[in-house]
């Protein structure tokens, strides 16, 4: 019997609705609010309201100080997000996935109201911090909830949708900003674009309790009956079906195996049988790469790169920025198609190689004077090309991988700390970028090029494939591998054995069917 409290839906239909009402608003809020003021800081009314961060009309003596403060106002959102992500290491397991997501949605709503109604910089900064607090919690917790409620077959696609919706948030903000920019004067040029984000916050908070809680969290807090009901609805199968009972048993076995060990944050720094330090290191490194390969630089500061780095007009810069982010959104579908077909490792490697090459080309193109029309066109093209490679591996797949390699007892802690690491480097980029563009110019891109070049090498040697395995299988794979350095090769061997066994089983079934027909 299907429960009416889940819209009378179950299985894939319920999962699609969860994507539309929870995942989409959560990560649209992520992209929309992160990019939220990058394109507003040159608006006339914005400059009048916040003259302390006016770099458009600043004198040479004021430029350094005001650009630093401008970077801080953009980056203060990230401070809130960092603490929001870290808080989930406790609140996610203590209060459950849905409760924390609801609280995060309320935070984003309050912060957006504070921002849109600001008449002074202090209130605006408080609003940015509160919005960041909510977005940080969502970025840490929603991928965990997704991975824990999705089946192994399509888990990658479900979580990679996060990146697609982050891109959609960037796109919406960019074109909405351009639309209100055409008003030219008045507070509506910047207040309305910020206030529109409230719609997504309202959808999120009004929908979250209409979906089942994570069965893995319910089992962790000994709510076995509710866990069985939740998993049954999510899989679209009866509670007494073999598939549901088998998955419940696998989760319980994983919990029992670690019950005596406990769940302490200090365990993340120890190897032991579970190789937790190695797994934690993979998460930290992946989130570091996501930020320090230039993704946030291009997404948040695209209008400034076109206007101040390439010397284009304000309107043309906004149009090109909107186009670049729209192209990034369309390119996100490449990751959606590839993640469960080719695996996690190939998408990371392809993305890393592409980003590094584009950053090298961007450094060369911007090293010429802004009067050089050809170099301007080339730089614009490479920004677009860069936005083709980023979503393939580093706009959703990085969040997915961190939830996959973490053991159940420390999944929330590992996800929240690695996501906080993501926000910490995000803060560095947001703070440094305005100053770096004014001071070192084209050389700034070389930093990102070198870091992105490290991605394919480290992924090839250190990151095992997780595609097609359920979360408990991945946990067992790390435990059984002889060492951290040998884990990639061990995974390849066990995958080939597993595939050959599946092929053998299929042949035996076909043989029995032919025999029975004969």
Contact 232, 6 (CB under 8 A): no
Share of residues in the chain with pLDDT > 70 (%): 86
**What pLDDT digit, counting tens, does each position of 133-149 carry?**
999 999 888 888 887 88
Q: How many angstroms from the chain centroid is the CA of residue 256?
A: 31
Query: Can you tell me the distance from the alpha carbon of 155 to that of 471, in angstroms, rounded to the nearest whole number?
Result: 10
Query: Can you tell me the distance from the alpha carbon of 164 to that of 427, in angstroms, rounded to the nearest whole number?
Result: 22
Give the ranges where 59-120 is alpha helix by DSSP (H): 60-95, 97-116
pLDDT bin (cut points 50, 70, 90) of residue 196 is very high
> Average pLDDT, whole number, for the chain?
82
Q: Would you state the pLDDT for residue 389?
A: 92
Q: Would you state the pLDDT for residue 446?
A: 92
User: Which two structure tokens, joined as six digits, stand for 394?
Assistant: 């580093």
pLDDT bin (cut points 50, 70, 90) of residue 509 is very low
pLDDT bin (cut points 50, 70, 90) of residue 55 is low
C-alpha dist (Å) from residue 253 to 150, 257, 265, 406, 473: 19, 6, 22, 16, 12
């Amino acid at each position: 019997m299907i429960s009416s409290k889940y819209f009378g839906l179950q299985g894939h239909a319920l999962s699609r609705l969860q994507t539309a009402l929870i995942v989409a608003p959560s990560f649209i809020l992520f992209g929309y609010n992160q990019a939220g003021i990058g394109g507003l800081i040159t608006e006339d009314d914005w400059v009048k309201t916040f003259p302390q961060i006016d770099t458009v009309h600043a004198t040479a003596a004021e430029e350094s100080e005001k650009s630093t403060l401008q970077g801080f106002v953009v980056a203060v959102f990230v401070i809130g997000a960092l603490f929001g992500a870290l808080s989930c290491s406790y609140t996610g397991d203590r209060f459950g996935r849905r409760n924390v997501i609801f609280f995060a949605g309320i935070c984003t709503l309050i912060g957006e109201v504070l921002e849109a109604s600001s008449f002074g910089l202090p209130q605006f900064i408080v609003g940015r911090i509160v919005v960041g607090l909510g977005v940080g919690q969502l970025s840490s917790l929603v991928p965990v909830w997704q991975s824990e409620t999705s089946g192994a077959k399509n888990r990658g696609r479900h979580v990679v949708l996060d990146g697609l919706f982050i891109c959609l948030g960037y796109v919406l903000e960019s074109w909405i900003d351009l639309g209100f920019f055409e008003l030219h004067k008045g507070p509506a040029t910047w207040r309305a674009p910020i206030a529109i984000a409230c719609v997504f916050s309202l959808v999120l908070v009004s929908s979250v309790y209409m979906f089942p809680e994570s069965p893995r969290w319910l089992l962790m807090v000994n709510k076995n009956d509710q866990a069985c009901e939740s998993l049954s609805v999510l899989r679209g199968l009866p509670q007494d079906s073999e598939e549901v009972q088998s998955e419940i048993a696998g989760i319980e076995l994983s919990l029992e195996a670690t019950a005596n060990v406990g769940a302490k944050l200090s365990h993340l720094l120890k190897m032991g049988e579970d190789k937790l330090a190695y797994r934690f290191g993979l998460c930290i490194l992946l989130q570091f790469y996501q930020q320090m390969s230039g993704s946030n630089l291009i997404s948040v500061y695209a209008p400034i790169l076109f206007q101040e780095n390439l010397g284009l007009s304000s309107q043309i810069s906004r149009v090109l920025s909107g186009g670049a982010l729209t192209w990034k959104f369309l390119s996100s579908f490449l990751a959606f198609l590839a993640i469960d077909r080719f695996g996690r490792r190939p998408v990371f490697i392809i993305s890393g190689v592409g980003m590094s090459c584009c950053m090298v080309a961007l450094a060369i193109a911007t090293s010429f004077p802004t009067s050089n029309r050809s170099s301007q066109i080339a730089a614009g093209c490479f920004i677009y090309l860069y936005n083709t490679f980023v979503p393939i591996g580093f706009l959703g797949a990085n969040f997915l991988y961190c939830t996959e390699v973490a053991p159940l007892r420390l999944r929330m802690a590992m996800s929240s700390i690695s996501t906080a690491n993501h926000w910490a480097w995000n803060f560095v980029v947001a703070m440094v970028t305005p100053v770096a563009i004014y001071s070192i110019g084209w050389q700034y891109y070389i930093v990102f090029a070198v870091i992105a070049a490290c991605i394919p090498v480290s992924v090839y040697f250190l990151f095992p494939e997780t595609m097609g395995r359920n979360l408990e299988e991945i946990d067992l794979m790390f435990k059984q591998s002889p060492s951290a350095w040998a884990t990639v090769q061990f995974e390849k061997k066990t995958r080939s054995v597993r595939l050959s066994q599946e092929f053998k089983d299929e042949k035996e079934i076909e043989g029995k069917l032919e025999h029975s027909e004969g």
